[in-house]
Structure 1
Amino acid sequence: MIDHPSEEGGIRRGRAGRTAPALDDIDARIVDELVRDGRMSIRTLAERVNISRTNAHSRVDRLLRCGVITGFHAHVEPTKAGLGTAALIALSIEQDTWREVSRRLAEIDSVEHVALVAGEFDIVVRVRTEDNVSLRTLVFDHIQSLPGVRTCHTWLIFDEFEPEHR
């Protein structure tokens, strides 16, 4: 999907060689509102998007069924949850091991996100741990030692923020 800025400042999704239909403006506004506040009621959502509650409800149901909306999640402040250390880890792996390496990474509790990438590295992983000692143990004992991992580069994340447009 290609994201295009809409007149209202949100995101309008467009087609980019995909068979899935593009979101219309109302669907895109619904998604934008739910990204901002996934706990809002259908009534509030309908008011913000300026459609009926029945229409809002049926559209949200359709967006869930189609997999556009995959769920509603609590946003947790990692440091307050005891996870004060975050890092990005870039891995170079042996050819044809990405499925197994990705599967094993996904099984590690401290792993938050796994991305297969093109370029100098093959996989980039975002992790969160209690402290630097836990991070060291995670990297040396659990990630670097995975079968298929050739090299491992770790960058400590000093600070993070969400873009304001979300």
Structure 2
Amino acid sequence: MAEPEYEGPVDEPAPPPPPPRPLDAIDRDILHMLQTDGRASIRSVADHVHVSRANAYARINRLIEDGVIRGFGARVNHERAGQGASAYITLKIVQNSWRTVREQLKALPGAAHMALVSGDFDVLLLVHTPDNRTLRELVLTRLQSIPEVLSTRTLLVFEETDLEPEA
């Protein structure tokens, strides 16, 4: 049996991030408020958690810098936005190819979320497409042409509901 060809450096794990700073009750209240209303003003956040505006601003910036808050966005009704077909796609991939596959999945049109998971498959991918024909093309042409993807399984989403943070 021939040896496999050398294809460059092996994916090396990224250095671990610094340990997270502990969050206090005010930080948790700020997070909860921003999860409920990402458009809340600094003034309303400060009033809600009973701190000064400068303190609220500094805490939010620290939460962003520490990577606790990854960003702000809108919750989209994908069907109303012209993305009427949604699916979770499971992928089995070549061992140690996650970083390579991740970069290719990021470039897929309609890719909304991906996770490296344990169990019967390696990757869970959420996609939104205009229709089932586009979804079929995405799976059969784009995903299955990635050399590191060994198999896929598509789970159609019939209905979805965003869960709101508890009050």
Task: State the TM-score, normalized to the length of structure 2.
Answer: 0.84
Cα drift, residue 164 of structure 1: 3.2
Cα drift, residue 85 of structure 1: 0.6
Alignment of 1:24 with 2:24, yes or no, is yes
Higher relative contact order (CA 8 A, sep 6+): 2
Q: Which residue of 2 aligns with 1:10?
A: none
Q: Contact 2:36/2:165 (CA < 8 Å) preserved in 1?
A: no
CA distance in 2, matches of 1:114, 1:19: 24
Alignment of 1:94 with 2:87, yes or no, is no
CA distance in 2, matches of 1:150, 1:76: 32
- Show CA shifts across 1:105-160 (max 9, x none): 11112111111011100111000000111110000000122111111100000111
CA distance in 2, matches of 1:30, 1:165: 12
Q: Contact 2:36/2:164 (CA < 8 Å) preserved in 1?
A: no
Q: Which residue of 2 aligns with 1:112?
A: 112
- Show CA shifts across 1:19-71 (max 9, x none): 21221110010011011111111111111112221211111121122221122
SS in 1 for 2:20: coil
Between 1:93-102 and 1:105-114, the stretch displaced more is 93-102
Structure number with bigger Rg: 2
CA distance in 1, matches of 2:96, 2:57: 44
Structure 2 counterparts to residues 153-164 of structure 1, below 5 A? 153-164=153-164
Q: Contact 2:90/2:154 (CA < 8 Å) preserved in 1?
A: yes
Cα drift, residue 75 of structure 1: 2.1
Gaps of 5+ in 2: 1-17
Q: Which residue of 1 aligns with 2:152?
A: 152
Q: Contact 2:86/2:127 (CA < 8 Å) preserved in 1?
A: yes
Q: How many residues align?
A: 149
Identity of aligned residues (%): 43
CA distance in 1, matches of 2:62, 2:165: 25
- Show CA shifts across 1:82-115 (max 9, x none): 0011000001112222221111011112111111
Q: Which residue of 2 aligns with 1:44?
A: 44
Q: Which residue of 2 aligns with 1:78?
A: 78
CA-based RMSD of the aligned residues comes to 1.4
Task: State the TM-score, normalized to the length of structure 1.
Answer: 0.85
> Stretches of 4+ moved more than 6 A in 1?
none
Q: Contact 2:92/2:149 (CA < 8 Å) preserved in 1?
A: yes
